Amino acid sequence: MIGASAGACASPSAPAAVDPAAARAGQGPGKEEAAVDPLSRVVPAPATVRTGGEPYVIGSRDRIGVPAGDPAARRVGDYLAELLRPATGFELPVTTRSGDAGVRLRIAQVRGVGPEGYRLETGGGAVTISAPEPAGLFHGVQTLRQLLPAAVERRTPQPGPWLVPGVTITDSPRYAYRGAMLDVARHFFTVQQVKRYIDQLALYKINKLHLHLSDDQGWRIAVDSWPRLASYGGSTQVGGGPGGFYTKDDYREIVRYAASRHLTVVPEIDMPGHTNAALASYAELNCDGVAPPLYTGTEVGFSSLCVPKEVTYRFVRDVLRELAELTPGPYLHIGGDEAHSTSHADYVTFMDRVQPLVAERGKTVVGWHQLTGARPAPGAVAQYWGLDGKEKEVADAARAGTKIILSPANRAYLDMKYTKDTPLGLDWAGYVEVRQSYDWDPGRYLQDVPPSAVLGVEAPLWSETISTSDHIEYLAFPRLPGIAELGWSPPSRHDWSSYRVRLAAQGPRWDAMGVDFYRSPQVPWPSE
């Protein structure tokens, strides 16, 4: 726990036992639960909801039906079974005989639904999730999970009942890119800690995990052609701790695990600035040929790769090649922010040389929005982290075809303090309480940028002040679900007064999951 203000909700009292048949008929303790408006507890808000259908109670004899001959859909079924078994105590075998299953996962075209969309409906003695792709099934499972009582998240048997309200939900995301960034450079986080965060992101239909793998304080990925980057450059962190790095097998495991939760990893090697760990590891990357000492502070803007040297581009090519070989996703992030020690002319020259190296690997280049002050390559993506959305260079690049990811620091940066009294985080972009983080529209945020230029949203979490999973959770929750909703739900569903009620319903769920979180006074959390 992060001090008294963390305030994870107390465990809700266990619901009374209920006869599944009676609950399915709308009688007994299941009746009130069946009448609950699903929109009152689901985040992100689904696109369309029709209530009033026949509710369903998941019972001890139920099976999970999956399509035959579709291993990806089968994996979603196995994932659902693993989620439900501990708390329900049910066996929930996964079967291709979907006709007798209580929960049915179907690969099928659904009108008006894209590749990540789904339809969830109760009725006919089952809960059915239909989707054109396994990703849609997986997102539908997250909605089903939130329709069930919060106690379903516990890892020991609970009394239930496991009632799904009568509903038909048809849902698709607003944006294709819905990301969260974790800075593992300033403080290193282990594979298990990253996996834990991936599981939490998946609940809210986040589909991109941006890993900030290098900075002044540490280099976190093994590179065979430049081995001292990890062994020496990764040997410390902010405050002088032991640091660490991912072996290639470690990184592959993160990529594999993220893919199993339908998240794509977006790796970032920040350059030409934020490079002290690399400069300390290899003297030849410095213009004067002298390696600086390792750095454990938090100041920015003092380091730069040597733009005129050809060895710089051999270094960048090697790093991007090895990283691309490990990364099946389409994006490589090259940073580009706060390059204060690089002249504008050198910055433009550097980006002109490096962007083609990304294309050489068959990847799409992503850079922080300072990239728009150079010459963004065709198809490049710029990630906006400013404060007011008025940068002319960003608007000009967007109108010329550069796609934009929205991460305004005073809205989406999860490392900003909630208030002056909260113990973790920074305040250079101001204090960012839950409502401020949620109450904005990505499609209309940037001045003179057409809504069609917006690729999506991302919630970055920089790690100057955090070093544990509890720290991650305290800053991410309850703000992360709001950014997820801005990325998923249609604008018509964005409403603070209703969102705060749905967000409050997540409190008991986080408590059941063992997630630390900030008990914002702006949210009507359930009382004990």
Cα–Cα nearest to 458, from 204, 174, 179 = 179
Pairing of strands 103-107, 64-65: parallel
- Confirm if 371 and 391 have CB atoms less than 8 A apart: no
- Separation in Å, CA 322 to CA 257, 267, 276, 332: 20, 12, 20, 11
Residue ranges of E strands in 238-351? 264-268, 331-333
Residue ranges of E strands in 124-176? 126-131, 163-164, 167-171
Chain position carrying tokens 């922080």: 368
| Alpha carbons 447 and 406: distance in angstroms, whole number | 12
367 φ, ψ (degrees, to nearest 5):
-140, 160
Radius of gyration of the chain (CA): 24
301 Cβ neighbours under 8 A, 6+ residues apart: 273, 338, 339, 340, 341
- Confirm if 412 and 483 have CB atoms less than 8 A apart: yes
- Separation in Å, CA 453 to CA 335, 379, 396, 444, 446: 20, 11, 11, 11, 10
Q: Which two tokens stand for residue 33?
A: 């639960």
- Confirm if 121 and 168 have CB atoms less than 8 A apart: yes
- Confirm if 512 and 150 have CB atoms less than 8 A apart: yes
Active site positions, annotated: 338
Q: Is 255 helix (H, G, I), strand (E, B) or coil?
A: helix
| Alpha carbons 163 and 62: distance in angstroms, whole number | 13
Q: Is 279 helix (H, G, I), strand (E, B) or coil?
A: helix
Q: Is 206 helix (H, G, I), strand (E, B) or coil?
A: coil
- Confirm if 265 and 246 have CB atoms less than 8 A apart: no
| Alpha carbons 141 and 475: distance in angstroms, whole number | 26
Taken in order 460, 278, 217, 197, is the CA torsion positive or negative? positive
Q: Which two tokens stand for residue 329?
A: 């996703």
| Alpha carbons 44 and 42: distance in angstroms, whole number | 6
Left (φ > 0), alpha (ψ -120 to 50) or beta: where does 334 sit?
alpha
| Alpha carbons 475 and 434: distance in angstroms, whole number | 11
